[in-house]
Amino acid sequence: MCRLAAITSKDYISPLEPILALETMKEGHDGSGLGLTLKDLGGEFEKLKKYPVLSGICSQDGKKTLDAYMKSRGFTLKHEWRPKIKPVKGIAARDHYFARAYDYPAAFKNRSLPEKEDLLMHTRLGIRKVGEPDGSIFAFSFYPDVITLKEVGDPLEVAEFFGLDKDSLSARVVLAQGRQNTNYAIYLYACHPFFIQGYCSMTNGENTAFVPIREFLSGRGFPGYMGYNSDSEVFTHILHYSVRQLGFPLPYYKDVITPLKAAEIEQREDRDAIRLMKQSLRPLCIDGPNMVIGFTPDGTCFMVQDSKKLRPGVVGGVKGRYALMSEECGVDSAVPKRDREKDFYPMKYDMVIISPQAQEVKVWNQLHG
């Protein structure tokens, strides 16, 4: 089972913090990889918030290809962060790990956000298409104020490899995932968290309904719904589809992935709408066992369970700093000084929603809407 650690905070935090929380949850072999997504960036990116950041990895040749590709698309490099790699046994270093802030092409500078988002996504997909066949470039995210890091290995060792303990990289929201005991031939595009146009999520557990969900998303005619090297990527895309594409308020994500039974729907004030949703979005119903942690473009974080609550998950913290973890010891590591009585273990109807900068926690109950 994958371990998940997320911290949302009003102050900038080091990405090492959720990785240390992951470490407390470690049991058994854990060398399958680490994925990190940072949102609402601090440090050297604090003044670059309006510029999209391309996160990825490339080879020497890939770097040339990437530079040429970005130039041809009209993007100009504003700033580049590169981790100070410290060789760690067992982790094969690749040539270039990077997070590059670019300025938009001139024609897009005054465009609307959705237009810019589409440009960024198409650019990322274009890079992926160019770099994937020979493995010369991996592009994980390309979006303002977001950085994604991924590498195969034990999470703590990967953090050491990236030199995160000594780096000034920081963010207000950090999602970290450690893969455990699944496939040995780990492909970087299969590592959580997954990101698309401001929406991000990571999941533990298998997704038994993966194929029908993937086929449904692939048929939406949206180019970003691709990849699916992991069965968990669909959770991110369902989030994006529900909230961005269909315009549903965030709690309805829960109604999409774990629809209520007919009799339960009748208790809801918005029953007419969710009855219709349940039909039209039937293939997006998950069957677990899954716990999903994610964030939306405004920095809202959430945790949600499958309808049988087959995976652990806990949220705890204080105003200004909340931890969303797959296990209690992770919360203890991230926010040791808190009232543990107020920790919340979302059950099958619950969705925990934490407002940006960890100001407010709401537990939304699906039965009551």
Partner 1 sequence: MEPASRLDHNHKLSLREFPYIIRWRDDRCKRCGRCTAVCPVKAIVPSVKVMRSVHSEGPIPTPGSTRRTVQVVEQVTNMERYCTGCGTCALVCPNEAIEPEFNPANKLLHYKNKGGDGYKRGGRRNDPSISTLDRLKFTRISMLTDPALDAGRHEFRIRTLLGRVLAPEAMPLSVVNGKLGIDARNNIFVPPVREIYPIMIGSMSIGALSPPMWEGLAMGVAYLNEVEGMPVVMCSGEGGMPPRLLRSKYLKYFIIQIASGYFGWDEIIHALPHMIEDPAAIEIKYGQGAKPGDGGLLMAQKVLKLIAKIRGVPQMVDLASPPTHQTKYSIEEAVAKMIQSMSMAWGFRVPVYPKISGSKTARAVLNNLARNPYAAALSIDGEDGGTGAAYNVSMDKMGHPIASNLRECYLDLVKQGKQNELPLIAAGGVGKKGNLAANAAALIMLGASAVSIGKYIMQTASDCFGDENNRCNLCNTGQCPRGITTQDPKLYRRLDPDKVAERVVEVFKSADTELKKIFAPMGRSTELPIGMSDGLSIDDKAMAERLGISYAC
- Residue 310 interacting with partner 1 (CB under 8 A): yes
Toward partner 1, which CB reaches closer, 108 or 210? 210
Give the contact letters, 46-75, x = binds to partner 1 (CB under 8 A), - = no: ------------------------------
Give the contact letters, 200-239, x = binds to partner 1 (CB under 8 A), - = no: -----xx-xxxxx--xx-xxxx------------------
Q: Please work out, in degrees rounded to the nearest 5, the angle formed at the alpha carbon of residue 258 by the alpha carbons of 187 and 192.
A: 20
Those residues whose C-beta lies under 8 Å from the C-beta of residue 7, and which sit 6 or more positions away, are 13, 17, 18, 21, 173, 174, 321, 322, 323, 324, 334, 335
130, 164, 129, 166: which is closest to 147 by C-alpha?
A: 164
Give the contact letters, 168-207, x = binds to partner 1 (CB under 8 A), - = no: --------------x----------------------xx-
Contact present, 329 and 24 (Cβ < 8 Å)? yes
Min CB(252)–partner 1 separation in Å: 6
Min CB(218)–partner 1 separation in Å: 8
Min CB(291)–partner 1 separation in Å: 12
236, 243, 339: which is closest to 286 by C-alpha?
A: 236
- Tokens 């959430």 belong to which residue? 302
Min CB(84)–partner 1 separation in Å: 36
- Residue 246 interacting with partner 1 (CB under 8 A): yes
Toward partner 1, which CB reaches closer, 87 or 247? 247
Give the span between the Cα atoms of 190 and 237, in whole angstroms: 14
Toward partner 1, which CB reaches closer, 262 or 318? 262
Min CB(171)–partner 1 separation in Å: 28
Q: Which residues inside 248-307 make contact with partner 1, applying CB under 8 A?
A: 248-249, 252, 258-259, 261-262, 269-270, 272-274, 276-277, 279-283, 285-289, 307
Give the span between the Cα atoms of 323 and 155, in whole angstroms: 18
Toward partner 1, which CB reaches closer, 83 or 224? 224
Give the span between the Cα atoms of 34 and 158, in whole angstroms: 7
Cβ atoms within 10 A of the Cβ of 22, count?
28
Give the span between the Cα atoms of 94 and 106, in whole angstroms: 33
Min CB(287)–partner 1 separation in Å: 5
First to last CA, the chain: 30
Toward partner 1, which CB reaches closer, 87 or 221? 221
Q: Please work out, in degrees rounded to the nearest 5, the angle formed at the alpha carbon of residue 123 by the alpha carbons of 118 and 126.
A: 125
User: Which range touches partner 1 (CB under 8 A), out of 19-27, 34-42, 244-252, 333-341?
Assistant: 244-252
User: Which residue type, as a one-letter code, is found at position 235?
Assistant: F
Binding residues for partner 1, rule: CB under 8 A, are 182, 205-206, 208-212, 215-216, 218-221, 241, 245-249, 252, 258-259, 261-262, 269-270, 272-274, 276-277, 279-283, 285-289, 307-308, 310, 369
